[in-house]
Amino acid sequence: MIMAVSKEKQNGILALMRECGDIILSAHAVETQSGAITVKPGEANFVTVYDVRVQEILIGGLRALFPDAYFYAEEKDNSAAAPAEGLCFFIDPIDGTTNFIHNMQCSAVSVGLYENGVPVFGAVYDPYRGEMYHAARGKGAYLNGDPISVSSRPLEKALISVGTAPYNRAHADQTFQRMCRVFLRCADLRRCGSAALDICWVACGRTDAYFEDVLSPWDYAAGALILKEAGGEVTTYAGQPHKPGEKASILCSNKVLHQTVLELINE
């Protein structure tokens, strides 16, 4: 049986995320701070002391609220598969770390909660804009407490954001060819550098679709629930639901243009 997350606990999660947002905002000239940035294996994959600190605060605070939950979080060892049963948090302490290092002011804290493999709560906080997106299963999606919903724009009027799969450059040709095919049919493309915000911007109708190869579960877990609760659609490039806790190449959309964009992606 799936239990609803109480309002009290939801507010507890959101308060913790705001606290983490303040830590992100307190960071200045990260690139010049000695020892603040570490390079992870792979291409252009960085972690900062702020990612680690935010993650510690989130896990500590969430564990106090949900003592039985498992934590699947970007900056920890995730070699064990996320459990299929019970409560499991998917956490990205800073989604958009490269933006954060460059002070691009386009990064977010992302927290998704699954129960028995079903998403039950998700929140994404953009501290630069002071924008908190959240959704609980079956209860709609909200931006700073106000209900949000997807756009109804057709493809020719659509702004579509894309991810360049920066840590998987073997995908570059495919990715850029897909972008080109979609670009030739829509109003324009965008690339913001935070998958969680990309998904939330589809949810609130600023953009109309978003796609990216090989996202990790902490990138999309929260956003996918927010988008579905806002009336949007999320599938893999094969048109299937993503599997909880697994990497996935996903298309998020306002539903109206989902099928056409899927066809362009797969052409």
176 to 205, contacts with ligand IPD by CB under 6 A?
Answer: 193-195
Would you count residue 48 as binding ligand IPD (CB under 6 A)? no
CA 247 – CA 79 distance, rounded (Å): 13
Footprint of Ca ion on this chain (CB under 5 A)? 74, 92, 94-95, 97, 219
Would you count residue 97 as binding ligand IPD (CB under 6 A)? yes
CB of 116 to ligand IPD, least distance (A): 26
CB of 97 to Ca ion, least distance (A): 5
DSSP letter string, 4-16: PPPHHHHHHHHHH
Residue 30 CB burial class (10 angstroms; 0-12, 13-18, ≥19): middle
Check: CB of residue 57 under 8 Å from CB of residue 73.
Answer: no
CB of 94 to Ca ion, least distance (A): 5
Would you count residue 234 as binding ligand IPD (CB under 6 A)? no
Give the residues across from 92 on adjacent strands: 110
CA 93 – CA 80 distance, rounded (Å): 19
Would you count residue 75 as binding ligand IPD (CB under 6 A)? no
Would you count residue 161 as binding ligand IPD (CB under 6 A)? no
Would you count residue 115 as binding ligand IPD (CB under 6 A)? no
Among 166, 205, 231, 239, binds ligand IPD (CB under 6 A): 166
Check: CB of residue 55 under 8 Å from CB of residue 74.
Answer: yes
Would you count residue 103 as binding ligand IPD (CB under 6 A)? no
Write the binding mask 201 to 220 for ligand IPD: x where contact by CB under 6 A, - elsewhere.
-----------x--x---x-
CA 163 – CA 96 distance, rounded (Å): 11
State how far the alpha carbon of 264 is from the alpha carbons of 151, 180, 256, in Å.
Answer: 20, 10, 14
| Tokens, residue 60 | 């500590």
Would you count residue 95 as binding ligand IPD (CB under 6 A)? yes
Using CB under 6 A, list all residues that contact ligand IPD. Answer: 74, 92, 95-98, 163-166, 193-195, 212, 215, 219
